[in-house]
Structure 1
Amino acid sequence: MTEVSSLTGRLLVATPALTDPNFTRTVVLLLDHDEEGSLGVVLNRPTPVGVGDVLRDWADLAGDPGVVFQGGPVSLDSALGLAVVPGDQAGDGPGGGAGPLGWRRVHGAIGLVDLDAPPELLAAELGTLRIFAGYAGWGPGQLEEELDDGAWYVVESEPGDVSSPAPEGLWRAVLRRQRSELAMVATYPDDPSLN
Protein backbone atom coordinates (compact mmCIF):
# COMPACT_ATOMS: atom_id res chain seq x y z
CA MET A 1 0.00 0.00 0.00
CA THR A 2 1.27 3.48 -0.80
CA GLU A 3 2.01 5.83 2.07
CA VAL A 4 -0.75 8.33 2.85
CA SER A 5 0.29 11.95 3.25
CA SER A 6 -1.57 13.38 6.24
CA LEU A 7 -4.20 16.00 5.58
CA THR A 8 -4.90 16.50 9.30
CA GLY A 9 -5.80 20.11 9.99
CA ARG A 10 -6.74 20.85 6.38
CA LEU A 11 -10.20 21.61 5.03
CA LEU A 12 -12.18 19.49 2.62
CA VAL A 13 -14.47 21.78 0.63
CA ALA A 14 -17.23 19.98 -1.27
CA THR A 15 -17.05 20.51 -5.02
CA PRO A 16 -20.31 21.41 -6.80
CA ALA A 17 -20.22 17.87 -8.24
CA LEU A 18 -20.63 16.32 -4.76
CA THR A 19 -24.35 15.65 -4.49
CA ASP A 20 -24.46 13.43 -1.38
CA PRO A 21 -26.97 15.35 0.80
CA ASN A 22 -24.77 14.74 3.87
CA PHE A 23 -21.98 16.75 2.27
CA THR A 24 -23.46 19.14 -0.32
CA ARG A 25 -21.68 22.51 0.03
CA THR A 26 -19.94 21.48 3.23
CA VAL A 27 -16.60 22.47 4.69
CA VAL A 28 -15.01 19.64 6.69
CA LEU A 29 -12.07 20.10 9.04
CA LEU A 30 -9.97 16.92 9.08
CA LEU A 31 -9.14 16.01 12.68
CA ASP A 32 -7.26 12.84 11.77
CA HIS A 33 -6.01 11.40 8.48
CA ASP A 34 -3.65 8.45 8.08
CA GLU A 35 -3.49 4.96 6.57
CA GLU A 36 -6.20 3.82 9.01
CA GLY A 37 -8.74 6.28 7.57
CA SER A 38 -9.97 9.81 8.17
CA LEU A 39 -12.17 11.65 10.64
CA GLY A 40 -13.47 15.20 10.44
CA VAL A 41 -16.31 17.54 11.35
CA VAL A 42 -18.57 19.59 9.11
CA LEU A 43 -18.06 23.22 10.14
CA ASN A 44 -21.05 24.79 8.40
CA ARG A 45 -24.15 22.84 9.51
CA PRO A 46 -25.65 24.54 12.59
CA THR A 47 -28.69 22.85 14.12
CA PRO A 48 -31.54 24.58 15.99
CA VAL A 49 -30.46 22.79 19.21
CA GLY A 50 -28.78 25.06 21.76
CA VAL A 51 -25.57 23.87 23.44
CA GLY A 52 -27.27 24.44 26.80
CA ASP A 53 -29.98 21.93 25.84
CA VAL A 54 -27.47 19.08 25.62
CA LEU A 55 -24.31 20.21 27.48
CA ARG A 56 -25.53 22.80 29.97
CA ASP A 57 -22.11 23.17 31.66
CA TRP A 58 -20.41 24.12 28.36
CA ALA A 59 -23.09 26.55 27.10
CA ASP A 60 -21.41 29.71 28.45
CA LEU A 61 -18.14 28.86 26.65
CA ALA A 62 -19.72 28.11 23.26
CA GLY A 63 -19.23 30.82 20.66
CA ASP A 64 -21.97 32.44 18.57
CA PRO A 65 -24.17 30.97 17.40
CA GLY A 66 -24.46 28.99 20.63
CA VAL A 67 -25.93 25.93 18.94
CA VAL A 68 -24.79 22.38 18.33
CA PHE A 69 -23.45 21.75 14.82
CA GLN A 70 -24.06 18.55 12.86
CA GLY A 71 -20.49 17.32 12.51
CA GLY A 72 -21.40 14.57 10.07
CA PRO A 73 -23.57 11.50 9.59
CA VAL A 74 -21.63 9.15 11.92
CA SER A 75 -22.53 8.78 15.64
CA LEU A 76 -25.02 11.62 15.82
CA ASP A 77 -25.63 10.78 19.48
CA SER A 78 -22.03 11.65 20.43
CA ALA A 79 -20.55 15.10 20.95
CA LEU A 80 -17.15 16.54 20.04
CA GLY A 81 -15.84 19.85 21.31
CA LEU A 82 -13.49 21.80 19.06
CA ALA A 83 -11.73 24.86 20.41
CA VAL A 84 -9.19 27.44 19.38
CA VAL A 85 -6.66 28.22 22.08
CA PRO A 86 -4.73 31.43 21.43
CA GLY A 87 -0.93 31.54 21.01
CA ASP A 88 0.96 30.92 24.25
CA GLN A 89 -1.84 28.86 25.83
CA ALA A 90 -1.76 26.52 22.80
CA GLY A 91 1.94 25.96 23.34
CA ASP A 92 2.88 28.10 20.35
CA GLY A 93 4.81 30.64 22.40
CA PRO A 94 8.41 30.56 23.63
CA GLY A 95 7.65 27.77 26.13
CA GLY A 96 6.15 25.57 23.40
CA GLY A 97 4.07 23.47 25.84
CA ALA A 98 1.31 21.03 25.02
CA GLY A 99 -1.55 23.45 25.65
CA PRO A 100 -4.07 23.47 28.48
CA LEU A 101 -5.16 20.38 30.37
CA GLY A 102 -8.31 18.93 28.77
CA TRP A 103 -7.38 20.11 25.25
CA ARG A 104 -5.54 18.08 22.58
CA ARG A 105 -3.97 19.88 19.64
CA VAL A 106 -5.19 18.87 16.18
CA HIS A 107 -3.45 21.53 14.13
CA GLY A 108 -1.93 24.86 15.17
CA ALA A 109 -4.22 26.54 17.69
CA ILE A 110 -7.15 24.18 16.90
CA GLY A 111 -7.78 21.23 19.20
CA LEU A 112 -10.27 18.81 20.69
CA VAL A 113 -11.76 19.49 24.10
CA ASP A 114 -12.39 16.72 26.63
CA LEU A 115 -16.09 17.35 27.28
CA ASP A 116 -15.90 15.12 30.38
CA ALA A 117 -13.47 17.60 31.98
CA PRO A 118 -14.87 20.39 34.17
CA PRO A 119 -15.47 23.45 31.92
CA GLU A 120 -13.89 25.75 34.50
CA LEU A 121 -10.60 23.91 33.92
CA LEU A 122 -10.48 25.34 30.39
CA ALA A 123 -12.59 28.49 30.65
CA ALA A 124 -9.68 30.93 30.99
CA GLU A 125 -7.68 29.26 28.19
CA LEU A 126 -10.24 28.91 25.40
CA GLY A 127 -10.57 31.49 22.67
CA THR A 128 -13.61 29.87 21.06
CA LEU A 129 -15.52 26.62 21.46
CA ARG A 130 -17.90 24.83 19.13
CA ILE A 131 -19.84 21.63 19.87
CA PHE A 132 -20.54 19.05 17.15
CA ALA A 133 -23.00 16.15 17.16
CA GLY A 134 -21.51 13.34 15.12
CA TYR A 135 -18.62 13.37 12.70
CA ALA A 136 -17.62 12.46 9.16
CA GLY A 137 -15.57 9.31 8.78
CA TRP A 138 -13.80 7.49 5.96
CA GLY A 139 -12.25 4.02 5.99
CA PRO A 140 -8.72 3.30 4.73
CA GLY A 141 -8.32 4.71 1.20
CA GLN A 142 -11.94 5.89 0.96
CA LEU A 143 -11.18 9.61 1.18
CA GLU A 144 -8.34 9.25 -1.33
CA GLU A 145 -10.82 7.67 -3.78
CA GLU A 146 -13.23 10.57 -3.28
CA LEU A 147 -10.38 13.03 -3.86
CA ASP A 148 -9.41 11.19 -7.06
CA ASP A 149 -13.06 11.36 -8.17
CA GLY A 150 -13.07 15.16 -7.71
CA ALA A 151 -15.53 15.26 -4.81
CA TRP A 152 -13.43 17.59 -2.61
CA TYR A 153 -11.05 20.51 -2.81
CA VAL A 154 -8.30 20.37 -0.17
CA VAL A 155 -7.30 23.79 1.21
CA GLU A 156 -5.54 25.22 4.26
CA SER A 157 -7.63 25.88 7.35
CA GLU A 158 -7.57 29.05 9.43
CA PRO A 159 -8.41 29.14 13.16
CA GLY A 160 -11.39 31.40 12.41
CA ASP A 161 -13.02 28.70 10.28
CA VAL A 162 -13.90 26.74 13.43
CA SER A 163 -15.74 29.69 14.96
CA SER A 164 -17.13 31.49 11.91
CA PRO A 165 -19.96 33.80 13.06
CA ALA A 166 -21.71 33.12 9.71
CA PRO A 167 -21.29 29.35 9.28
CA GLU A 168 -23.89 29.10 6.52
CA GLY A 169 -21.63 31.26 4.30
CA LEU A 170 -18.41 29.38 5.11
CA TRP A 171 -18.37 27.33 1.88
CA ARG A 172 -18.31 30.46 -0.27
CA ALA A 173 -15.98 32.33 2.11
CA VAL A 174 -13.33 29.58 2.13
CA LEU A 175 -13.42 29.29 -1.66
CA ARG A 176 -13.37 33.06 -2.14
CA ARG A 177 -10.13 33.44 -0.15
CA GLN A 178 -8.21 30.96 -2.37
CA ARG A 179 -5.60 32.49 -4.66
CA SER A 180 -6.46 30.30 -7.62
CA GLU A 181 -9.31 29.37 -9.92
CA LEU A 182 -11.06 27.96 -6.84
CA ALA A 183 -12.11 31.50 -5.92
CA MET A 184 -14.39 31.46 -8.98
CA VAL A 185 -16.16 28.30 -7.74
CA ALA A 186 -17.59 30.44 -4.92
CA THR A 187 -19.88 32.04 -7.52
CA TYR A 188 -21.31 28.66 -8.59
CA PRO A 189 -25.12 28.91 -8.30
CA ASP A 190 -26.98 26.80 -5.75
CA ASP A 191 -29.12 25.40 -8.55
CA PRO A 192 -27.31 25.53 -11.93
CA SER A 193 -30.58 24.77 -13.78
CA LEU A 194 -31.87 28.24 -12.77
CA ASN A 195 -28.86 29.97 -14.32
Structure 2
Amino acid sequence: MPNFYADRLFNALERNDPAPGMLLVAAPGMFSPEFARSVVLIIEHSDRMTFGVNLTARSELAVYNVMPDWLPVTAKPQALYIGGPVNQQSVVGLAVTKTGVDMNDAPQLNRLANRLAHVDLRADPESLAELVDGMRLFAGYAEWAPGQLHEEIENGDWFLAPALPHDVIAPAAQDLYGDVMRRQQMPLPLFSTFPADTMDN
Protein backbone atom coordinates (compact mmCIF):
# COMPACT_ATOMS: atom_id res chain seq x y z
CA MET A 1 0.00 0.00 0.00
CA PRO A 2 2.78 2.59 0.73
CA ASN A 3 3.83 2.54 -2.94
CA PHE A 4 0.29 3.03 -4.28
CA TYR A 5 0.31 6.82 -4.10
CA ALA A 6 4.01 7.02 -4.92
CA ASP A 7 3.38 5.15 -8.18
CA ARG A 8 0.54 7.46 -9.14
CA LEU A 9 1.91 10.78 -8.01
CA PHE A 10 5.67 10.70 -8.12
CA ASN A 11 6.99 8.46 -10.85
CA ALA A 12 5.86 10.83 -13.61
CA LEU A 13 6.68 14.06 -11.77
CA GLU A 14 9.82 16.06 -12.19
CA ARG A 15 12.04 15.55 -9.16
CA ASN A 16 13.38 18.72 -7.55
CA ASP A 17 16.26 18.84 -5.11
CA PRO A 18 15.66 20.03 -1.53
CA ALA A 19 16.78 23.60 -0.91
CA PRO A 20 16.00 26.45 1.49
CA GLY A 21 12.73 28.10 0.56
CA MET A 22 11.23 24.93 -0.91
CA LEU A 23 8.17 23.17 0.48
CA LEU A 24 8.05 19.52 1.43
CA VAL A 25 4.45 18.44 0.89
CA ALA A 26 3.35 15.18 2.50
CA ALA A 27 2.14 12.51 0.08
CA PRO A 28 -1.48 11.43 0.42
CA GLY A 29 -1.46 8.44 2.71
CA MET A 30 1.68 9.61 4.56
CA PHE A 31 2.59 6.79 6.95
CA SER A 32 3.65 9.11 9.81
CA PRO A 33 0.49 10.54 11.43
CA GLU A 34 2.28 13.61 12.78
CA PHE A 35 3.14 14.67 9.22
CA ALA A 36 -0.15 13.75 7.52
CA ARG A 37 -1.34 16.67 5.31
CA SER A 38 1.71 18.68 6.41
CA VAL A 39 3.57 21.36 4.48
CA VAL A 40 7.15 21.85 5.69
CA LEU A 41 9.22 24.86 4.69
CA ILE A 42 12.89 23.92 4.35
CA ILE A 43 15.11 26.40 6.20
CA GLU A 44 18.48 24.67 5.85
CA HIS A 45 19.71 21.83 3.66
CA SER A 46 23.29 20.58 3.55
CA ASP A 47 25.34 17.39 3.52
CA ARG A 48 25.14 17.40 7.32
CA MET A 49 21.40 17.81 7.86
CA THR A 50 18.10 19.26 6.74
CA PHE A 51 15.71 21.17 8.94
CA GLY A 52 12.46 23.02 8.45
CA VAL A 53 9.14 23.82 10.08
CA ASN A 54 5.64 22.52 9.53
CA LEU A 55 3.46 25.44 8.42
CA THR A 56 0.14 23.72 9.14
CA ALA A 57 0.16 22.82 12.85
CA ARG A 58 -1.26 25.67 14.95
CA SER A 59 -1.27 25.34 18.74
CA GLU A 60 -3.77 26.83 21.17
CA LEU A 61 -1.00 28.87 22.81
CA ALA A 62 -1.11 32.60 22.09
CA VAL A 63 2.10 34.39 21.14
CA TYR A 64 1.10 37.04 23.67
CA ASN A 65 1.54 34.52 26.48
CA VAL A 66 5.03 33.35 25.54
CA MET A 67 6.74 36.02 23.41
CA PRO A 68 4.68 39.21 23.83
CA ASP A 69 7.35 41.50 22.36
CA TRP A 70 6.86 39.81 18.98
CA LEU A 71 3.08 40.22 18.93
CA PRO A 72 3.03 43.47 16.87
CA VAL A 73 4.79 41.78 13.91
CA THR A 74 3.03 38.41 14.19
CA ALA A 75 0.39 37.69 11.54
CA LYS A 76 -3.08 36.55 12.54
CA PRO A 77 -3.90 34.10 13.96
CA GLN A 78 -1.38 35.21 16.57
CA ALA A 79 -0.75 31.74 17.94
CA LEU A 80 2.41 29.72 18.35
CA TYR A 81 2.72 27.04 15.66
CA ILE A 82 4.25 23.59 16.19
CA GLY A 83 7.18 23.48 13.81
CA GLY A 84 8.00 19.83 14.42
CA PRO A 85 8.83 17.21 17.02
CA VAL A 86 12.45 18.23 17.62
CA ASN A 87 13.42 20.61 20.45
CA GLN A 88 10.00 22.17 21.07
CA GLN A 89 11.49 24.40 23.78
CA SER A 90 13.18 26.43 21.03
CA VAL A 91 11.39 28.87 18.73
CA VAL A 92 11.98 29.46 15.01
CA GLY A 93 10.85 32.70 13.37
CA LEU A 94 9.84 33.15 9.73
CA ALA A 95 8.83 36.40 8.07
CA VAL A 96 7.36 37.70 4.84
CA THR A 97 9.06 40.95 3.91
CA LYS A 98 7.36 43.97 2.45
CA THR A 99 7.70 44.43 -1.29
CA GLY A 100 10.98 46.12 -2.17
CA VAL A 101 12.86 45.22 1.03
CA ASP A 102 16.48 44.25 0.32
CA MET A 103 17.34 41.49 2.78
CA ASN A 104 21.03 42.13 2.21
CA ASP A 105 20.53 45.36 4.16
CA ALA A 106 18.74 43.60 7.04
CA PRO A 107 21.17 41.43 9.06
CA GLN A 108 18.32 40.09 11.20
CA LEU A 109 16.83 38.40 8.11
CA ASN A 110 18.29 35.36 6.37
CA ARG A 111 16.79 35.08 2.88
CA LEU A 112 15.12 31.76 2.01
CA ALA A 113 13.20 32.72 -1.13
CA ASN A 114 11.44 35.70 -2.66
CA ARG A 115 10.19 37.74 0.34
CA LEU A 116 10.67 34.78 2.72
CA ALA A 117 13.20 35.01 5.53
CA HIS A 118 14.42 33.12 8.57
CA VAL A 119 14.45 35.65 11.42
CA ASP A 120 17.20 36.06 13.99
CA LEU A 121 15.07 36.18 17.16
CA ARG A 122 17.90 37.87 19.05
CA ALA A 123 16.98 41.01 17.10
CA ASP A 124 14.78 43.79 18.41
CA PRO A 125 11.20 43.08 17.23
CA GLU A 126 10.68 46.81 16.63
CA SER A 127 13.48 46.74 14.05
CA LEU A 128 11.32 44.47 11.88
CA ALA A 129 8.14 46.51 11.97
CA GLU A 130 8.96 48.47 8.80
CA LEU A 131 10.47 45.47 7.02
CA VAL A 132 7.87 42.70 7.21
CA ASP A 133 4.23 42.15 6.33
CA GLY A 134 3.99 39.47 9.00
CA MET A 135 5.74 36.73 10.94
CA ARG A 136 5.11 33.26 12.29
CA LEU A 137 6.73 31.74 15.37
CA PHE A 138 7.21 27.97 15.53
CA ALA A 139 7.96 25.82 18.58
CA GLY A 140 10.36 23.09 17.51
CA TYR A 141 11.27 21.92 14.04
CA ALA A 142 11.59 18.87 11.81
CA GLU A 143 15.07 17.49 11.15
CA TRP A 144 16.54 14.86 8.83
CA ALA A 145 19.92 13.16 9.11
CA PRO A 146 22.29 13.02 6.11
CA GLY A 147 20.63 11.15 3.27
CA GLN A 148 17.39 10.57 5.17
CA LEU A 149 15.27 13.13 3.34
CA HIS A 150 16.46 12.00 -0.09
CA GLU A 151 15.47 8.45 0.84
CA GLU A 152 12.01 9.58 1.96
CA ILE A 153 11.51 11.56 -1.26
CA GLU A 154 12.55 8.54 -3.34
CA ASN A 155 10.08 6.44 -1.35
CA GLY A 156 7.32 8.83 -2.33
CA ASP A 157 6.70 10.22 1.17
CA TRP A 158 7.17 13.85 0.07
CA PHE A 159 7.22 15.96 -3.02
CA LEU A 160 8.91 19.33 -3.41
CA ALA A 161 7.33 22.58 -4.53
CA PRO A 162 8.39 26.25 -4.47
CA ALA A 163 7.06 28.23 -1.53
CA LEU A 164 5.03 31.39 -2.00
CA PRO A 165 5.20 34.23 0.53
CA HIS A 166 1.60 33.89 1.67
CA ASP A 167 2.15 30.20 2.54
CA VAL A 168 3.98 31.25 5.71
CA ILE A 169 1.31 33.64 6.99
CA ALA A 170 -1.81 31.87 5.73
CA PRO A 171 -4.99 32.85 7.62
CA ALA A 172 -6.58 30.42 10.07
CA ALA A 173 -9.41 29.39 7.74
CA GLN A 174 -7.11 28.52 4.84
CA ASP A 175 -6.45 24.87 3.99
CA LEU A 176 -2.77 25.35 3.15
CA TYR A 177 -2.20 21.71 2.19
CA GLY A 178 -5.14 21.78 -0.23
CA ASP A 179 -4.07 25.12 -1.71
CA VAL A 180 -0.49 23.95 -2.32
CA MET A 181 -1.73 20.72 -3.92
CA ARG A 182 -4.15 22.56 -6.20
CA ARG A 183 -1.42 24.74 -7.71
CA GLN A 184 0.74 21.75 -8.73
CA GLN A 185 0.65 19.81 -11.98
CA MET A 186 -1.81 16.97 -12.43
CA PRO A 187 -2.61 14.59 -10.84
CA LEU A 188 -1.73 16.30 -7.53
CA PRO A 189 -4.74 18.68 -7.52
CA LEU A 190 -7.02 15.64 -7.46
CA PHE A 191 -5.67 14.83 -3.99
CA SER A 192 -6.11 18.31 -2.50
CA THR A 193 -8.96 17.12 -0.25
CA PHE A 194 -7.29 13.83 0.73
CA PRO A 195 -7.94 13.39 4.49
CA ALA A 196 -5.24 13.01 7.10
CA ASP A 197 -6.90 9.75 8.16
CA THR A 198 -8.37 7.67 5.32
CA MET A 199 -11.02 6.41 7.75
CA ASP A 200 -12.49 9.94 7.54
CA ASN A 201 -12.99 9.67 3.79
| Contact 2:41/2:54 (<8 A) preserved | yes
Distance in 1 between residues matched to 2:28 and 2:21, nearest whole Å: 22
5 Å-filtered alignment, 1:63-82, equals 63-82=75-94
| Cα separation, 1, equivalents of 2:119 and 2:19 | 20
Cα distance in 2 between the residues matched to 1:104 and 1:167: 28
Structure 2 length-normalised TM: 0.86
Letter in 2 for 1:55: M
User: Runs of 5+ in structure 2 lacking a partner?
Assistant: 1-15
| Alignment of 1:183 onto 2:189 | yes
Equivalent residue number for residue 27 of structure 1: 39
* Equivalent runs, 1:98-177 vs 2, <5 Å: 98-166=104-172, 169-177=175-183
> C-alpha deviations, 1:75-114, integer Å up to 9, x for none?
100001100112321x2xxxxx604231111222111112
In the TM superposition, what whole-angstrom CA distance separates every residue of 1:20-52 from its partner, at most 9, and x where no partner exists?
A: 122111000011112112110000000000111
Aligned to 1:57: 69
- 50-59 vs 168-177, greater mean Cα deviation: 168-177
Partner of residue 6, structure 2: none
Measured in 1, the distance between the counterparts of 2:92 and 2:48 equals 20
Equivalenced residue count is 186
**3-state SS of paired residue (2:81):** strand
Determine the C-alpha separation between the residues in 1 that align with 2:50 and 2:180.
21
C-alpha deviation, 1:160, in angstroms? 0.5
Q: Distance in 1 between matches of 2:190 and 2:105?
A: 38
Q: CA RMSD in A?
A: 1.8
Give structure 1 stretches of 5+ with no counterpart: 92-96
Percent identity between the two aligned chains: 37
What is the distance in 2 between the residues matched to 1:36 and 1:86?
32
Q: Aligned pair 1:88/2:100, yes or no?
A: yes
